[in-house]
Amino acid sequence: MALGMAYAGKRVAVGSATGGFALMQEAFSFAGMAELPLVVAVSQRQAPATGSPTHSSQSDLRFVIHAGHGEFPRIVLAPGDPTESFKAGAEALNLAWKFQVPVIVLLDKILSEHMMTSDIERLKEGKIERFEEERIFPGTLGVVVKTTSYEHDEEGYTIDKPEEIKKRVDKRFEKAKNIETEMQNRETIKVYGEENENVIVFFSSTKGPVLEASKYFNKPVKLVQIVWLEPFDTEKIKKELENKKVICIEGNHNAQLASLIREKTGIVCESILKYDATPFDPMELAEEINNRT
């Protein structure tokens, strides 16, 4: 239904826990192939399969940045509180339409059910400058509109010659280069505190416990929140973490954010992990960080 609405020219978003999103993988890949501007809000829950569906987790970071079969560009945003989530929803819709790629807003159960008072400014109206020429939608007079899940040319016809296929793959990933250029004008990370040899890195709902814990640190510590997970803003993140003692705080067993940082920057982080399906306790977190810094 969401793909059909995007095809018809409507701004659309769909939401699911990661269990439901796992069942959408073929459709998600279709959005990548057909270049449909789809937004998916994905809320992480604990454990594989049904797991503990009423508990939270941050164990699906790697899954969402590699979601769908085949290679195609996508954007993954990870807001840290309800205010950021509201703004990320609007930003995701704009980015999806600007670059005609699927966009994921990565949440978790804690963040999805979080309640707080937010001061949200009215969004300004304006035209979205698209990466390519305007899309033509079904019902436009005088034209035939096609879409397909097959590799296809500009007119929507299926192709199978190697040189044609390579050309279409290159065209899709030309968008990735433009998205990376766009990142330079976006708040892909947030930094709290002064420059320091000790740095804590986190994403999503871990923001709240980390900021609360920082009130009880014995030493000054710089905090870095990663907001854009895909594409990964390697240069900005490397600048903040290089030659520092870096502690990565995340709610999963395999230190997925730390491994992503190591993959993209070569920087090795220490990890504080929690995978019992409950949020970090700020006082326990402060004690652990004080022991390490």
Instruction: Supply the pLDDT for residue 123.
Output: 65
Report the DSSP beta bridge partners of residue 226.
189
Distance CA 253, CA 148 (A): 39
Distance CA 12, CA 54 (A): 27
181 domain residue, yes or no: yes
Please state the pTM of the whole predicted model: 0.94
Last residue of a domain, one of 148, 165, 186: 186
The 8-class DSSP code of residue 184 comes to: T
Q: For residue 269, what is the domain's CATH number?
A: 3.40.50.920
Instruction: Supply the pLDDT for residue 127.
Output: 66
Instruction: Supply the pLDDT for residue 133.
Output: 57
Q: Residues of 99-115 as b/e, b for ≥16 C-beta within 10 angstroms?
A: bbbbbbbbbbbbbbeee
Please check whether residue 205 is in contact with residue 114, taking contact to mean a CB–CB distance below 8 angstroms: yes
Q: Which helix (H) or strand (E) holds 210?
A: helix 207-213
**Which amino acid is residue 205, in one-letter code?**
S
Domain count for the chain, please give it.
Answer: 2
Please check whether residue 93 is in contact with residue 167, taking contact to mean a CB–CB distance below 8 angstroms: no
**Beta-strand relationship, 75-77 and 228-230:** antiparallel
For residues 172 and 216, membership in a common domain is answered with no
Which parts of the chain sit beneath pLDDT 70? 123-134
For residues 19 and 150, membership in a common domain is answered with yes
